[in-house]
Amino acid sequence: MIVAVALGLALGIQAFLVKPYRIPSESMVPTLQIGQRVLVNRLGERFSNPEVGDVIVFHPPAGAELNNQCGAEPVDGAPCSKPTASRADVNFIKRVVAGPGDRISIDDGHVILNGKRQKEDFARPCGGGSECDYPTEITIPAGHYFMMGDNRGSSDDSRFWGPVPGKWVIGDAFATYWPPGRIGPL
């Protein structure tokens, strides 16, 4: 009986409150390393919207995990402005860099938000190339969020597959619990 109750509580906590996730790629380096594990608040996103700077887990648009498919023909020099209509079954973890109604462009991997270059000490340089510069500004649609990895040169993100609808957000990552040397808040 005790084992059944404990198992039920553990499953309930993961389903509705806090869920652990493992970092699968280098897209969030240096903030998060491959194999590092984070805790994600699943309850908070039901009551509040993500904010610029939050690190969140979400379902990307369909096509994001394989071929960076955009939901609209990108305007020359602009990041993808529209996701595909359906979501992928995988989970991604990225940082929110723009929210609904914000205007965004990218200069050498740095976010230009509403005309102002953002201070992003957490971000790794992009390293040059066409995926680093999107000088043509787009406006984020209502209810959507523009996501980017902190490792700008090694991240497949909203630049390529568009803003993510808020209803696809799973929750915000608030702490790391593995490896022991990196335990702490995000």
Q: 3-state SS of 138-179?
A: EECCCCEEEEECCEHHHCCCHHHHCCEEHHHEEEEEEEEEEC
Cis bond upstream, residue 30 (ω within 30):
yes
What does each C-alpha distance from 117 to 53, 68, 108, 140 come to in angstroms?
A: 14, 25, 11, 17
Taking the C-alpha atoms of residue 95 and residue 20, their distance in angstroms, rounded to an integer, is: 17
Task: Examine the residue annotation and report whether 48 is marked as an active-site residue of this protein.
Answer: no
Closest to 159 in 3D by CA, of 126, 132, 120: 132
Q: Which of 19, 81, 94, 158 is catalytic?
A: 94
Task: Examine the residue annotation and report whether 27 is marked as an active-site residue of this protein.
Answer: yes
Active site residues: 27, 94
